[in-house]
Amino acid sequence: MGRKPKINQNQPKKNTNNSESFKKADNKIVAQKQPKEITRLRGMRDILPDEYRYGDYVVSVAERICRAYGFAKTEIPALEQVSLYERSTGKQTDVVSKEMYAFVDKDNERVALRPEATPGLVRSYIEHGLFNLPAQPVRLLWTGSLFRREKPQAGRYRQFSQVDVEMFGEASPVADAQLITMGYLILKELGIAAAVQINSIGDAADRDEYAKKLVEYFKDRKVRVLLSVDDKKRLLKNPLRVLDSKDEGTQKALAGAPQMIDHISDEARQHFVKVLEYLDEFDIPYTLNPFLVRGLDYYNRTVFEFCPEGEDGSSQGTLIGGGRYDGLVEFMGGRPTPALGWALGVDRVVLKLKEKAPQSAGPAMDAPDIFLAQLGDAAKRKAMVFFEELRVKGYRVAQNFVKDNLKTQLEQANKLGVKLTLILGQKEIMDNTILIRDMESGMQEVFDFAKVYEEIDKRLK
């Protein structure tokens, strides 16, 4: 057998207590396993409950007025073929060329998240043969989200909400005036003072002729030098888009430019005059804006925008915008169909709404009149059944069954501003009674449970 190795008694002993080392190692592992927080994408946002009520309020007012004018709710997909927007909106527009979320899916199809609603609604109108419906014109109402990869700003997000109305099969100028009136009434009911800017861009032949005159005007070097780099590019690709520019230099250059209204056909001019006569009859205030063209290629004749009073109609300031697009349905493969519509930007309208009403005093949606409080397990069970009875009968009632403390429940009832709090406790369960508390006076009385509805109705009148 070999000798055992000698142990040097003078050699310093190794530290066998590794608790500190293990602790450090454990902390390192925990740090490594700690998941990284996932945040929102740039330009996207969460709408929390306290703010959501504003958008909900705007949509509810808009939908109620639109339904009164005969517009029926419809839905379209969030995902469509890219070609739908390329054909309808135009490849040269920023909506398609720069802002659209487009990609090739697993089926090797080019698809896109909808950047605007009108093309999808036109496709739906054609695909489902809505021109055969007995009730004409066809009036469609849509609300939902749109997606554009724009530079985020106040009131402008990459996912945003709109209310959209479209009317198919009506060429009369009264239809133009009616849609403008609807937009005016919606903003008026919301308490937002807005000015209507309106113009006529004529028909396709008118625009082609006018575009030549606009290019000729900008051949003057003294004028052309004022244009921004982007607007010089637009002048080459789509001259009318220069009119839509918000650049300060371009605006100065346009001061002496020929006006579209002076270069439209007699038929288009007569149509526009009729629209203005109807607006005068409806007592809708408006301002003629000779350089308003809207940013999309499919518009013709009447175009309009609603901007907050005192603002210049910048892209951020426009609350509602729309116009006629009489050639789009045929261009998209349908039969010749006059059409028109507008879109309301919910996010921008909400900004205006919040300017005039602080967050704490915003629109209250379905504010409750009654709070149902309970104390004890037996009372909680009965209260849950009673709450559902109240809800089904149409009473606006609130509760917080996860709380057992009566004081906490009464504090919540007070914050909600209810008129009455109904209280069920162990004693009330045994006596088949209920306690009704008047939240304004603080007085409370006991009533026979069988007569509770009679007493509630009397107090809520």
- Residue 421, pLDDT > 90, answer yes
Report residue 21 CA to chain centroid gap: 56
Residue 250 included in any domain:
no
The pLDDT of residue 19 = 57
CA torsion 195-200-201-205 (nearest 10°) is 170
- Could you tell me if 400 and 275 lie in one domain? no
Q: What is the mean pLDDT of the chain?
A: 86
Query: Among residues 143, 145, 142, 141, which one has the least CA distance to residue 101?
Result: 145
- Could you tell me if 351 and 388 lie in one domain? no
Each residue's pLDDT tens digit, 32-51: 677 888 888 888 888 888 78
Half-sphere exposure of 290 toward its Cβ, with a 13 Å CA cutoff?
A: 13
Residue 73 included in any domain:
yes
Average pLDDT over residues 214-236: 80
The pLDDT of residue 309 = 78
The pLDDT of residue 98 = 79
Cα 361 to Cα 58, 61, 348: the distances in Å are 15, 18, 18
Average pLDDT over residues 287-297: 81
The pLDDT of residue 233 = 80
- Residue 177, pLDDT > 90, answer yes
d(CA 72, CA 74): 7
- Residue 15, pLDDT > 60, answer no
Average pLDDT over residues 438-453: 92
User: 3-state class of 437 per DSSP?
Assistant: strand
User: 3-state class of 291 per DSSP?
Assistant: coil
The pLDDT of residue 94 = 64
Specify which of 26-35, 90-99, 116-125, 301-310 reaches the highest per-range mean pLDDT.
116-125
- Residue 361, pLDDT > 50, answer no
The pLDDT of residue 7 = 47
* Least confident span in 77-81, 220-224, 383-387: 220-224
CATH code at position 191: 3.30.930.10
User: Who contacts 242 (Cβ-Cβ below 8 Å, separation ≥6)?
Assistant: 214, 218, 227, 231, 234, 235, 250, 254
- Could you tell me if 379 and 423 lie in one domain? yes
Each residue's pLDDT tens digit, 387-413: 999 999 999 999 999 998 999 999 999
The pLDDT of residue 96 = 66
Residue 126 included in any domain:
yes
- Could you tell me if 190 and 136 lie in one domain? yes
Q: Token digits for 325?
A: 């697009």
* Least confident span in 68-82, 93-107, 265-279: 93-107
Query: Among residues 190, 196, 194, which one has the least CA distance to residue 356?
Result: 190
Cα 47 to Cα 71, 155, 327, 366: the distances in Å are 28, 13, 38, 19
The pLDDT of residue 18 = 57
User: Percent of the chain, pLDDT > 70?
Assistant: 87
The pLDDT of residue 151 = 83
Residue 33 included in any domain:
no
CATH code at position 432: 3.40.50.800
Residue 62 included in any domain:
yes
Residue 231 included in any domain:
no
pLDDT band at 362 (very low <50, low <70, confident <90, very high): low
pTM attached to this predicted model = 0.80
Average pLDDT over residues 87-103: 76
The residue out of 306, 329, 356 marking a domain boundary is 356
The residue out of 295, 322, 356 marking a domain boundary is 356
Each residue's pLDDT tens digit, 303-312: 999 988 766 5
- Could you tell me if 317 and 400 lie in one domain? no
- Could you tell me if 124 and 102 lie in one domain? yes
Query: Among residues 371, 430, 361, 376, which one has the least CA distance to residue 398?
Result: 371
The residue out of 329, 356, 383 marking a domain boundary is 356
Average pLDDT over residues 351-369: 70
User: Percent of the chain, pLDDT > 90?
Assistant: 56
- Could you tell me if 317 and 453 lie in one domain? no
- Could you tell me if 343 and 378 lie in one domain? no
Each residue's pLDDT tens digit, 135-164: 899 999 999 999 999 888 777 889 999 999
The DSSP secondary-structure symbol of 69 reads T
Rounded to 10°, the helix 82-89/118-127 angle is 110
- Residue 1, pLDDT > 70, answer no
CA distance between the termini of the chain: 107
Rounded to 10°, the helix 173-189/266-281 angle is 40
The pLDDT of residue 104 = 93
- Could you tell me if 305 and 416 lie in one domain? no
* Least confident span in 22-26, 30-34, 35-39, 370-374: 22-26
State the SS3 of 82-134: HHHHHHHHCCCCHHHHCCCCEEECCCCCEEEECCCCHHHHHHHHHHCCHHHCC
- Residue 252, pLDDT > 50, answer yes
Report residue 103 CA to chain centroid gap: 24
- Could you tell me if 77 and 119 lie in one domain? yes
Give me the number of domains the chain comprises.
Answer: 2
- Could you tell me if 333 and 409 lie in one domain? no
Average pLDDT over residues 279-308: 88
- Residue 363, pLDDT > 90, answer no
Domain containing residue 381 = 370-460
Residue 407 included in any domain:
yes
- Residue 28, pLDDT > 70, answer no
pLDDT band at 25 (very low <50, low <70, confident <90, very high): low
- Residue 192, pLDDT > 70, answer yes
Residue 136 included in any domain:
yes
- Could you tell me if 299 and 422 lie in one domain? no
The pLDDT of residue 244 = 74
DSSP string, 357-389: S-GGGSPPSS--SEEEEE-SHHHHHHHHHHHHH
